[in-house]
Amino acid sequence: MTHPRPVSRRALLAAAGAAGLVVLGGAGQAVAHRAHVILTRLSRNPRTARWEFVHTLHQHDAQLALYQLSGGREVELSTPAAIARCMLELERRVRWFDAAGRPLAPVAVGGELEGDGLVLYQEMPAPERGGRFAVESKLLQDLFADQRHTVSIELRAPYARVTLDTSTPRANFDVA
């Protein structure tokens, strides 16, 4: 007599998700990408005394930006050159400023595709002095009028969150 193999929770969730897609049919594509949002997490690594920036964009939005930047040529997002181009655009359109208003210069660490997102990594030495810092973002705003950029500043509790868009492209945050 053979016993059925136990079903893992992960397999059960995958099956339920597949069944949901079958039931939704074509509607799945319509709800797959609801908003034009970039998420950034700024944190301090106490071991290295560096600030770490993790930016996540929808792959679809990044692909559209690359299409426009390349003059209407299709560009494969998974290539190192495409990820580097996205990083250059990030560096050009998302700017950070110290308490004296001087630009900060996070450096590129890398990027990867993860799920339906493009994740870009930057870091820099943590500033020695605190004060009122600022972030400014105009990333993808020329493509999408409703583009929002949510920045989670996780340098100390309680964490701060700011949302940047075309009407509010810049916000201040305190650093201790």
Digit-coded pLDDT (tens) for 10-63: 443 444 443 333 333 333 344 455 799 999 999 999 999 999 999 999 999 999
pLDDT at 22: 34
Q: Is residue 16 part of a domain?
A: no
Q: Which residue has the tokens 């074509």?
A: 26
Q: What's the rounded Cα separation, in Å, for the pair 122 and 43?
A: 11
62: domain range?
34-175
Q: Is residue 28 part of a domain?
A: no
Q: Is residue 97 part of a domain?
A: yes
* Helix locations, the chain, DSSP H: 9-24, 27-31, 59-69, 80-93
Q: Which residue has the tokens 């049919």?
A: 25
Q: What's the rounded Cα separation, in Å, for the pair 162 and 138?
A: 14
Cβ(171)–Cβ(135) below 8 Å:
yes
Model pTM above 0.85? no
Q: Is residue 12 part of a domain?
A: no
Tokens of 176: 């201790």
Q: Is residue 55 part of a domain?
A: yes
What's the domain count of the chain?
A: 1
Q: Is residue 113 part of a domain?
A: yes
Reduced to 3 states (helix: H, G, I; strand: E, B; else coil), residue 173 is strand
pLDDT at 154: 97
Residues 138-159, mean pLDDT to the nearest whole number: 95
Q: Is residue 21 part of a domain?
A: no
Q: Is residue 2 part of a domain?
A: no
pLDDT at 33: 55
pLDDT at 158: 92
